Chain A
Amino acid sequence: MIHYIVRRLLMLPLVVLGVTFLLFFLTQRLSPEMRASLYVKDPRQMGSLEEVIRQYGLRDNVFKQYGRWLGNVVKGDLGYSPSANMPVSQAIKEYLPATIQLAFVTILFVVFFGVWFGCGSAIHKDEWKDIVARLISVGGFSLPIFVLGLLLLMIFYGQLGWFAPGGYSVYTDMIIHGGAFKTYTGFLLIDSLLNGNLRVFWDVLNHLVLPAVTLCIGSFALMVRVMRSSMLEELNKDYVRTARAKGLSKWQVVYKHAGKNAIIPVITLASIQFIRLLGGTVIVETIFDYPGIGRFGVIAAQQLDIAGILGFSLMVAVLFVLGNLLSDILYTAVDPRIRLE
């Protein structure tokens, strides 16, 4: 097992190198002048472009430039992001926790309701409960995120005013950037509780609800289907018959025996979805103006913020490998065949 984790971790640099080099290579399609102009704020200084190019070695060959960037990354310097107006590493530190928070709440929803509906659907196969769950699942699956997001925003913010869109309220902004608010984890939901400030907690939660619900729908629909088919498959197996023959209760047969086997594909799906959410909440964060890393990535891409784009992709690649590792470790927790082999 440890052997396996080490092997997975050894893959990490390879994936990161591959992804970043590809992107780096693509950015080289821009002329050195264009790249240099990103660092010149004042049009009157355009004459100094040549100086910038020389200073940062923008005319060197790709490998040399990439090597230089990589060297800086190893030292912890991801460069300066003009679009966020701060160093890339600081931008990640500032925006990533909000996205992780969003992804986490979303995946909790997805797993909880997905497993619940999926199991119910399987147990009551072809009864009305199953049909309702399948309808919701098909509906959710075919509803594009941007449509749902805008609809929710229209109804719950525009009409009813129950939930706010992204961005925190002025009060929250003032508190969290004020001196008295201590940052423990970077996750505002947790930090606000640790600071004992319930108002900030509710405010953050309020801003989370709509984006989380929007993100949920597609993953939820998929989760219901996977859980349902996996449960149906397990319920047909011989060991379930044995469990019934032993005189166990229906609850034990379904959840302890079949459930523990049926949950295995759900774990894979949940971790894939979680990773996808971390790097892919772009649309939702844009619709709801949610201060997360996806929005940072979009803005960086729109403004040709090369350092920002590279930093963002580097982060996504690392999260991707770590997320897969996490899912493998979760696997071993439920499946002894993997744990012991």
Chain B
Amino acid sequence: MTQPDEPILEVRNLKIAFSTEDGLLPVLHGLSYTLPKGRVLGVVGESGSGKTVHALSILRLLPPTARITEGEIRYRGRNLATLGRAELRKIRGNKISMIFQDPAASLNPVLAIGEQLTETLLAHRKMSKSAAREKAVKLLEKVGIADAEKRLHEYPFQFSGGMCQRVMIAMALALEPDVLVADEPTTALDVTVQAQILKLIKQLQQQSGMSAVFITHNLAVVAGIADDVLVLYAGLCMEYAPASQLFERPLHPYTQGLLNSLAPVHRKVEVLPVITGHPPVPGALPAGCPFAPRCPFVFEKCRRECPPLFEENGRRTRCWLREGK
């Protein structure tokens, strides 16, 4: 049995690089975090920050050109980064499952929904096909798809994007996994549908008590769902904090910038503040802090030396301003 605070997933110094014609191109420079049971970790970052690569690496679904160069991904004590293929397959979709950004493309266009659902069940459990079908109907009902019996025979193109994501969620939760990895699950959806899907994920996560890694570029999405937030920038963790604290008092200038650029709901603003400049290109990181060229509080040391993560009250911040606090 798992103790309440025993970590389900533990990532230690994870480094990922793409192999290119000019050699290895690192995109994630040593990411570490622990995910306790029943908690949701929100990973926030802009494109190129390494967030999706990190999500894919958990189940070793990286494209062939990318690979884990260092570090560990421990699930219940086993290192997924080096686990044998057969063992890894028993974990995929069973103990750790994943949902993706583009739900319509993530389902096979020529297989019926029912087939795609039941094959997940049959891959990991010994059960009859009819039992799997019954379970599939229940799963579809659970994620709010009406007329589930009939819709089992339908194909992805007969479903809307939101409905496809519901099917993906049903598929991911079919075997009651310990961890759900959600890679931008609402990005491709309409705003209203986004809210519904988020609510559904949150509700199902709380019911089952599973843990989740929720990857998004949108801080507002994280606010409603995550217990802890990890802010990624240029392949580095910039800030790690419980969600409530992070939103109340962001410590890192980058996080502050991100929060400032969210449109406030209760008052009108003429111009939304933005973070000027662009994130660094992978492989062309500045010598010091990668955020230094865009940071409003930058000083000399920032340009010279990249700060480590400073710990204070359970929070971690990669900024020289937090040194000694």
Contact = CB atoms under 8 A, between A and B. Distances in A.
A247 B89 contact: yes
Given A238-B102, A246-B92, A248-B119, A337 B59 contact: no
Given A239-B106, A336-B112, A246 B119 contact: yes
B124 interface: yes
A237 B105 contact: yes
B109 A245 contact: no
Interface stretch (B93-101, B127-135, B313-321): B93-101
Interface in A289-316: none
A260 to B, nearest CB: 5
Given A340-B155, A340-B158, A247 B91 contact: yes
Interface residues of A, number: 22
A183 interface: no
A61 interface: no
Given A246-B93, A247-B90, A260 B119 contact: no
Contacts of B124: 247
B152 to A, nearest CB: 13
Contact of A245 (B92, B112, B119): B92
A246 B91 CA distance: 9
B110 A334 contact: yes
B54 to A, nearest CB: 15
A159 interface: no
A326 to B, nearest CB: 20
A260 B155 CA distance: 14
Nearest to B175: A247
Contacts of B56: 241
Given A260-B110, A260-B111, A242 B100 contact: yes
A238 B106 contact: yes
A241 B183 CA distance: 13
B299 interface: no
A257 interface: yes
Contact of A246 (B102, B109, B123, B157): B123
Given A247-B91, A248-B123, A257 B100 contact: no
A244 B157 contact: no
A336 B123 CA distance: 24
A261 B92 contact: no
A335 interface: yes
A260 B109 CA distance: 10
Q: Is the interface of A mostly helix, strand, loop or mixed?
A: helix
Interface residues of B, number: 30
A335 B155 CA distance: 10
A246 B170 CA distance: 12
B61 A261 contact: no
A252 interface: yes
A246 B171 contact: yes
A269 interface: no
B109 A239 contact: yes
B151 to A, nearest CB: 13
Most buried by B among A242, A256, A257: A242
Most buried by A among B59, B89, B98, B108: B108
A131 B171 CA distance: 38
Contacts of A239: 105-109
A237 B105 CA distance: 8
Interface string A137-176: 0000000000000000000000000000000000000000
A244 B106 CA distance: 11
A252 B110 contact: no
Contacts of A257: 108, 111
A241 B100 contact: yes
20 contacts: A238-B106, A241-B106, A244-B59, A244-B61, A244-B92, A246-B92, A246-B93, A246-B120, A246-B123, A247-B89, A247-B93, A247-B94, A247-B123, A248-B93, A248-B120, A249-B89, A257-B111, A260-B110, A260-B111, A335-B109
